[in-house]
């Protein structure tokens, strides 16, 4: 079997698991709807119009819901960590490693499968956001999907590395939850970078600038609202290069880990 | 009768104490949570203070502080559900039912454990609230304590109820998030009722019946942010929420223990 076929086979295995996640998708869709229709609308009501000076004239509600979509993309990718932890619990990781498949192929297949699963999983939410924003241009939709795949592949690689290093269900729940919450807070999901800069907290500003969530959400904002480019501290090219670098770097690390360090057993 | 009650209380207290000890074992998790709650208060509050409409909220940090008090209870009391969930998945429940304690005491102990976790975790944030807001008088402290007890009973019982619905780790985590989003976003934690009325129209009053809104309203009164609140409605509402969730947690947890 060619290597590409094997990668697709491993990725398809991940995708097949989506069938058992209908309840999970429904719940995520429910809370996303609450976030977009209740929280985002109410919070945009209390925000002054002067904030539009920092968003290039983009209404805060629109600014925020693209951030929320990015958060969801991120959280769903992070949730793969819980799945891998369960696989360890059930002995599936041992089964995977015993297959006549190269470890690097296995790593690429898992990351690709995780990324595509995330994309499919979050598709209903993307439809909601793009409907609210009245985005009809197929090119914008296609670029959004491609960038979302790159971003989620990077986050899935990160979480696979974490879970395999931690090797504990409880610690996975704690650490993955903490990273999830922390990175979202230190990003431009809620507020534009110039507003963060105006607080004078330099480490927060630096963290937000380096945060992949900031780059993903700002890239989508520039894509949908080109006027946001006027106030964004980095352009779309810089963001997409950053995201590709982030994902490729972590994928390489995941492959390296699978090939040289991953051992079964010792799961707590 | 009195002896039985004393016996049940002692057993429940023993179970609760075990849960409390386990709570402090995850010291890194605790440190992370405290850091995040403070970050929410300072970063979210500080940044939003600069961009919210002053006619609606003159000082966002003072406005959000009572919400953070409620959030601290949610985070800490809900951990009891996570542990009950892990026990159900790993069938530690078989060991628990073999202990020389009644099942009622076991459930009461778990709820009490969640309450103690919530109250202890909240102490630091109460001190912070005193520093940021107006220090409460004795009668207001009693109200604040009552609100904290009721809301931690509600959250602790709710977390136990929800994890007993499924043994799937992933769905348990998703339910936890869904509850957070529904309770906190459909409440007066992040925005005043006027914003909810403006955006949700006739649905807005639903937020008033949320236990989170009720607790936050009492905290805002206690710490001098609001002066005119319906204390009877909010306190009685919290009492009702805590009673209903305790009964539900008891019924579902017992059902799971018998499986």
Asked whether the beta carbons of residue B185 and residue A23 sit closer than 8 angstroms, the reply is: no
Which residues of B have a CB under 8 Å from any CB of A?
A: 26, 28-29, 32-33, 36, 39-40, 43-44, 46-48, 50-53, 56-57, 82, 86, 169-171, 173-175, 177-178, 181-182, 185-186, 190-192, 195-196, 198-200
Condensed to tens digits (0 to 9), the pLDDT of residues A208-242 reads 999 999 999 999 999 999 888 877 778 889 999 99
Could you tell me if residue A19 is left (phi over 0), alpha (psi between -120 and 50 degrees) or otherwise beta? alpha
Domain locations in chain B as residue ranges: 2-258
Burial class from Cβ neighbours inside 10 Å (0-12, 13-18, 19+) for residue B2 reads exposed
Asked whether the beta carbons of residue B169 and residue A204 sit closer than 8 angstroms, the reply is: no
- Least Cα distance to A243 among A127, A77, A84 occurs for A77
| A204 chain-B contacts, CB cut-off 8 A | 43
| B46 chain-A contacts, CB cut-off 8 A | 199, 201
| A21 chain-B contacts, CB cut-off 8 A | 170
In order of A108, A161, A164, A257, B220, the CA distances from A261 in angstroms are 16, 10, 9, 5, 53
Span B103-109, average pLDDT: 90
Condensed to tens digits (0 to 9), the pLDDT of residues B34-85 reads 877 777 777 777 788 888 898 889 889 999 999 999 999 998 998 898 888 8
The 10 Å Cβ neighbour count of residue A144 is: 21
Å between B199 CA and nearest CA of chain A: 6
Condensed to tens digits (0 to 9), the pLDDT of residues A82-138 reads 777 777 777 787 888 888 888 888 889 989 999 999 999 999 999 999 999 999 999
In order of A8, A9, A89, A261, B243, the CA distances from A108 in angstroms are 9, 11, 22, 16, 51
Give this prediction's pTM.
0.82
| CA–centroid distance for A22 within its chain | 20
Residues A71, A220 contacting (CB under 8 angstroms): no
pLDDT of residue B70: 94
The residues near A97 (Cβ < 8 Å, ≥ 6 apart) are A103, A106, A262, A264
Asked whether the beta carbons of residue A24 and residue B199 sit closer than 8 angstroms, the reply is: no
| CA–centroid distance for B219 within its chain | 13
Give the residue from chain B lying closest to A268, CA to CA.
B90
- The count of CB pairs under 8 A between chains A and B is 111
Candidates A19, A46, A59: best to mutate against B (most CBs of B within 10 A) is: A46
Comparing CB atoms, the residue among B36, B39, B185 nearest residue A39 is B185
Comparing CB atoms, the residue among A27, A38, A201 nearest residue B186 is A38
Condensed to tens digits (0 to 9), the pLDDT of residues B130-154 reads 999 999 999 999 999 999 999 999 9
Give the residue from chain A lying closest to B196, CA to CA.
A42
Give the residue from chain A lying closest to B57, CA to CA.
A46
Distance of alpha carbon A33 from alpha carbon B36, whole angstroms = 25
* pLDDT value at A267 more than 70: no
Tokens 């995780």 sit at which residue? Answer: A114
Sign for the CA dihedral angle at B226, B228, B232, B233 comes to: negative
Asked whether the beta carbons of residue B195 and residue A86 sit closer than 8 angstroms, the reply is: no
Asked whether the beta carbons of residue A46 and residue B174 sit closer than 8 angstroms, the reply is: no
Give backbone dihedrals phi and psi of B52, rounded to 5 degrees, phi first: -90, 155
- Least Cα distance to B119 among B183, B179, B76 occurs for B76
Q: What is the three-class DSSP state of A47?
A: strand
| CA–centroid distance for B211 within its chain | 9
Condensed to tens digits (0 to 9), the pLDDT of residues A28-43 reads 888 888 889 889 999 9
Give the residue from chain B lying closest to A23, CA to CA.
B171
Domain locations in chain A as residue ranges: 3-260
Q: What is the three-class DSSP state of B52?
A: strand
Of B168 and A267, more confident: B168
| Widest pairwise Cα distance in chain A | 60
| CA–centroid distance for B58 within its chain | 27
């Amino acid at each position: 079997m060619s290597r590409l076929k094997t990668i697709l086979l491993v990725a398809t295995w991940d995708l097949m698991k989506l069938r058992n996640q209908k309840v999970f998708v429904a719940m995520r869709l429910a809370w996303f709807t609450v976030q977009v229709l209740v929280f985002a609308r109410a919070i945009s009501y209390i925000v002054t119009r002067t904030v539009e000076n920092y968003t290039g004239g983009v209404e805060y509600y629109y600014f925020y819901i693209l951030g929320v979509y990015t958060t969801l993309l991120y959280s769903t990718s992070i949730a793969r960590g819980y799945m891998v932890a369960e696989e360890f619990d059930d002995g599936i990781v041992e089964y995977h490693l015993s297959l006549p498949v190269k470890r690097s192929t296995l790593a690429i297949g898992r990351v690709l499968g995780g990324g595509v699963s995330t994309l499919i999983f979050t598709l209903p939410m993307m439809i909601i956001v793009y409907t609210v924003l009245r985005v009809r241009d197929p090119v914008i939709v296609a670029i959004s999907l491609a960038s979302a795949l790159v971003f989620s592949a990077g986050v899935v690689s990160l979480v696979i590395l974490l879970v395999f290093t931690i090797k504990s269900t409880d610690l996975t729940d704690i650490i993955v939850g903490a990273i999830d919450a922390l990175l979202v807070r230190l990003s431009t999901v809620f507020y534009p970078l110039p507003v963060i800069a105006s607080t004078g907290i330099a480490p927060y500003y630096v963290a937000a600038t380096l945060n992949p969530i900031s780059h993903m959400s700002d890239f989508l904002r520039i894509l949908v609202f080109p006027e946001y480019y006027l106030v964004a501290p980095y352009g779309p090219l810089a963001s997409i290069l950053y995201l590709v670098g982030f994902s490729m770097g972590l994928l390489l690390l995941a492959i390296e880990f699978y090939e040289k360090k991953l051992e079964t057993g010792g799961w707590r | 009768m009195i002896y039985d009650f004393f016996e049940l209380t002692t057993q429940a207290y023993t179970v609760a104490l075990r849960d409390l000890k386990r709570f402090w074992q995850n010291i890194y998790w605790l440190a992370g949570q405290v850091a995040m709650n403070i970050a929410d208060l300072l970063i979210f509050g500080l940044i939003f203070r600069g961009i919210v409409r002053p006619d609606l909220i003159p000082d966002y940090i003072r406005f959000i502080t009572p919400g953070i008090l409620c959030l601290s209870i949610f985070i800490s009391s809900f951990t009891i559900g996570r542990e009950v969930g892990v026990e159900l998945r790993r069938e530690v429940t078989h060991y628990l039912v073999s202990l020389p304690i009644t099942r009622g005491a076991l459930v009461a102990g778990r709820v009490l454990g969640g309450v103690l976790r919530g109250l202890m975790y909240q102490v630091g944030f109460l001190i912070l609230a005193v520093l940021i807001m107006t220090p409460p008088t004795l009668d207001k402290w009693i109200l604040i304590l009552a609100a904290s007890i009721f809301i931690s009973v509600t959250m602790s019982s709710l977390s136990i109820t929800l994890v007993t619905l499924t043994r799937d780790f992933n769905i348990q985590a998703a339910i936890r998030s869904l509850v957070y989003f529904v309770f906190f976003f459909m409440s007066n934690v992040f925005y005043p009722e006027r914003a909810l009325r403006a955006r949700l129209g006739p649905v807005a009053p639903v937020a008033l019946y949320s236990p989170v809104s009720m607790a936050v309203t009492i905290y805002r009164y206690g710490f001098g942010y609001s002066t005119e609140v319906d204390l009877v409605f909010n306190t009685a509402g919290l009492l009702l929420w805590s009673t209903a969730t305790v009964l539900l947690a008891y019924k579902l947890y017992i059902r799971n223990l018998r499986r």
